[in-house]
Amino acid sequence: MPLPLIRPPETTGRGTLWWVRAALGATGLAAVGYALFGLLTNVPPAQLVGVAAWLAAALLVHDGVLVPLTTLAGGGLSRLTYGLRPLQQGIVRGALLVGAVVTLVAAPLIRAQQVLQPTGPGSGANDTVLQGDYGQALGLFWLVLAVAATAGVAAAGLYARRSSVKKTRP
């Protein structure tokens, strides 16, 4: 028996959903407008060029690097997780994607910590910048993510197995 999908309740008409979607869309547009207003009023025009360049670079990195890599990884994962159900494959893919993005965010901090805070006597390291052990925190994050993903895959498998067992007694 397939897992139940999230559907609107039978009693909810399409009109209600349309109003909910319209309200969420209007809220989102208001938030974007507020953010743009704050950006244009608080950032000097010379820095807006830098912000625009950063946004363009982020778009290029996203579409030029992240999307192709995740597409390739997704294709490879489909082969590695062949015996799993689609929900379980989705959990594995989601966990790996979250882990990869967090690693991409943490990697510059770990490198900067290595460069700016050399160890040893007389190194002149400034302990007030880049506090914390980012490498250890990243390792702990991956451990928690692996445990959570494993639990999710196991739970989805158990649920699917229990749902497929047919009752013999009424």
CA distances from 160 to 5, 7, 95, 170 (A): 13, 19, 20, 21
At 114 the pLDDT is: 79
At 13 the pLDDT is: 59
Please tell me the pTM assigned to this model: 0.58
Q: Are 153 and 84 in contact (CB under 8 A)?
A: yes
At 170 the pLDDT is: 61
SS (H, E, C) 15-48: HHHHHHHHHHHHHHHHHHHHHHHHHHHHCCHHHH
Residue 10, Cα to own-chain centre: how many angstroms?
Answer: 32
At 12 the pLDDT is: 53
Question: What would the two tokens of residue 39 be?
Answer: 């950006």
Q: What averages of pLDDT result for each successive group of 10 residues across the chain (170 residues)?
A: 60 76 96 94 90 93 89 83 87 91 90 74 65 89 97 92 71
